[in-house]
Structure formats: C-alpha cells, structure tokens
Amino acid sequence: MRLKSLKELFSPGPVGLGRGKSVRFDPTIPPKVLRKRYEKLGRAEKPLSSDVTTSPIHAGNVTAEWVQTATSRTHRVVLYLHGGGYILGSPATHRGLVSRMCLAAGARGLLLDYRLAPEHPFPAALQDTLEAYRWLLGTGIHPQGIAFAGDASGAGLALAATLALRDERLPLPSALVLISPWVDLSLSGWSLLLNAKTDPINSLEFLALCARHYLNGENPTNPLASPLYGDFRGLPPMLVHVGNQEVLKDDAKRLAHRADQAGVDVSIEVWDQQLHAFHAYPEISESQGAIDRIGSFIRTRTAADPVPLTAARALLKAAEEQKAKDKAGSGEA
C-alpha cells in the first residue's frame, strides 16, 4: 500500500483524522466506513509482480488466501495475520507486503481473512487463527516449516495464538515475526503519549476505539487479548521490528523485555526515523532492507528441507490425544 494514499485515508474529509504529523481521530465515524475506504486503498494498490500468484482458499472454516512467489517452497509457510486494529484489513490490503516477505523468505504465505470486530469481537479472531493453524497441520505442513507473522493487531494476534497453542499443549510454530506489535489493549505504554505528534498513522484515540470494539467488555489484560500480560516461557524465537516514531514503540520494547526475561530467543530492532509498519511501503528506502532481514530470520528458523507429510498429522493427533487424556484426568479428579 502506498504511504501517500494511506495518509489520504486519514484526511479530515473522508475519514476524520487531522492533516499533518499529529493524528486527530473522530470516534463517531463508523468502523464500516473506515473499513470500506481501507479496502479501496488495497484494491488500488500497484499490481503484484508477474511471479506472484494468489488463490482463495478455506483453511477449515476460515477464509484465506495463498500467496506464492518464484522462490516459494511448499514446506515453508508464513501464516500471516494482517493489522487494522481488529476492525480493518483483509488479504486485499496486505497481499503486497506478504508477497514481498514470502519472496525474501522462500515461503508460501497463508494470509487469513479472520473475522473482524465489532461484528465479531474477541475471541473470534483468535479462534479463526487457531482453526487455520490446525488445518495447516492437517494438510501435512510440519510446525518446523511454519512461521507466524503479523503487523500491529495482527502481530498481537499471532502472539496470543501462540500462547493459546502452548497452553493447549499443541505443537508451536518455529518462529514469530512481529511488526509494530500492538500487544497491550489496556493502552498503558508511554509512547502512546510521547510519540503522539510523530506518528501519522496511529493514535491513542483510534486504538482506544479499536480496543473497545474488539474487547466488547473483556478484561483488557486478558493475555489472549493483550499477550503482553501472558507467560512467555517456552515460546519460539521472535523477531520484533518497530519504528522509533510510533505510538506503539513501548508495546514492542516491553514485549521484547518480557520475552527475554522468560528465556525466549528474541531480537528487537528499533528502526530510526521510521513509522508504523513501514515495511508495507515500498517507497520508503528502508522497507526492503527490513523485509530482507525478516526473510533471513524465517529461513534460518524454519526447516531447510521438507518433513514427511505424515509427521505433522501424527504430531497433531498425538497432541490432541494427550489433551483429551489431560481433560479426562482432570474430570476424574
């Protein structure tokens, strides 16, 4: 998506955000209006290169899209969760970013069209992510070949889903890529205030509206909604990218600190003079370099060669059988 077009989305006329560097959000604008304009920008995006193919699919009951490039290897999959504050976004708005990431990683992308709030509040998006992941394992893709990735709310969703899988004793993906992660829906990060004038995309007001729609009365510190408050022990390696001008900078820094304290292999890169999810804007010179770093991370953290197709199914079956035993034992007690 072009940065210039995205800034036009946030102009006072059509959407209700102020011009200039600081963001002034009008909370009276219905999410459907914001969503429609965001989708329009996605459809107007520059066409994908000729070596990229996309195809709609149902991952279980979840609408999704395969994204494949000239370098894609069948056994390596990036399960991508788009941003948009849980109220905006779709494959149409993010397939350009995902195609560039997959090209760098030598992977296929499974781009989920998970359900959005306010029509489908928490935990609908989480349920869709878990179902799609189980479906992916059922097709024979081994966890060693899967990376979760996402931006903003999608990054938070990727982390929340990994926590849920760990708690359910299901096999975890091999890596997490978290771009400008929004992981604290209680909105307690200082950068929400300190960077209010340097972030042209997000604002405390906009995120508060999104949190209200998504939570729908849920406790904002529930780790499956705000994974910053979760137990990170046993999670896979993480790469965290954030711009130093973002209101979400502190979400990323606190996330990385908690992961490090829990013994997780985590790397955080704070990009100087960069804004929210700058990876998505090819006209920003640092964008491709950041994506190349992500591609290298995914390649080194996922299996170099295919794992036998039956192995993933066997792993999933064993995990589900163990879960059933644990449940039965708890019931007997």
Domain annotation for the chain: domains and CATH numbers: 3-332 (3.40.50.1820)
Q: What letter does residue 12 receive in the DSSP assignment?
A: T
End-to-end C-alpha distance for the chain, whole angstroms: 55
Q: What is the Cα–Cα distance from 75 to 140, expressed in whole angstroms?
A: 9
Tokens matching residue 291 = 């994506």
> Side chain identity at 300, as an amino acid letter?
T
For residue 228, which of 150, 157, 321, 298 has the smallest C-alpha distance?
Answer: 157
CB-based contact 98:89 (threshold 8 Å): no
> Side chain identity at 321, as an amino acid letter?
E
For residue 294, which of 235, 240, 253, 248 has the smallest C-alpha distance?
Answer: 240
Tokens matching residue 130 = 């878990």
Q: What is the Cα–Cα distance from 320 to 94, expressed in whole angstroms?
A: 33
* Parallel, antiparallel or unpaired: strands 266-271 and 62-68: unpaired
Q: How far is CA 207 from the centre of its chain?
A: 16
Q: What is the Cα–Cα distance from 190 to 184, expressed in whole angstroms?
A: 12
Q: What is the Cα–Cα distance from 330 to 333, expressed in whole angstroms?
A: 5
Give the 3-state secondary structure of residue 87: coil
Q: Using a cut of 0.75, tell me whether the model's pTM lies above it.
A: yes
pLDDT (0 to 100) of residue 306: 76
Q: What is the Cα–Cα distance from 145 to 263, expressed in whole angstroms?
A: 22
Q: In this structure, what are the phi and psi dihedrals at residue 306, rounded to the nearest 5 degrees?
A: -60, 145
Q: Tens digit of pLDDT per residue, the chain (333 long)?
A: 555 545 555 443 333 333 334 446 778 888 998 898 888 877 666 667 788 999 999 999 999 999 999 999 999 999 999 999 999 999 999 999 999 999 999 999 999 999 999 999 999 999 999 999 999 999 989 999 999 999 999 999 999 999 999 999 999 999 999 999 999 999 999 999 999 999 989 999 999 999 999 999 999 999 999 999 999 999 999 999 999 999 999 999 999 999 999 999 999 999 999 999 999 999 999 999 999 999 999 999 998 777 776 777 787 788 878 777 877 777 654
- Give all strands of the β-sheet with 175-179 in edge-to-edge order: 53-59, 62-68, 107-112, 73-81, 146-151, 175-179, 238-243, 266-271
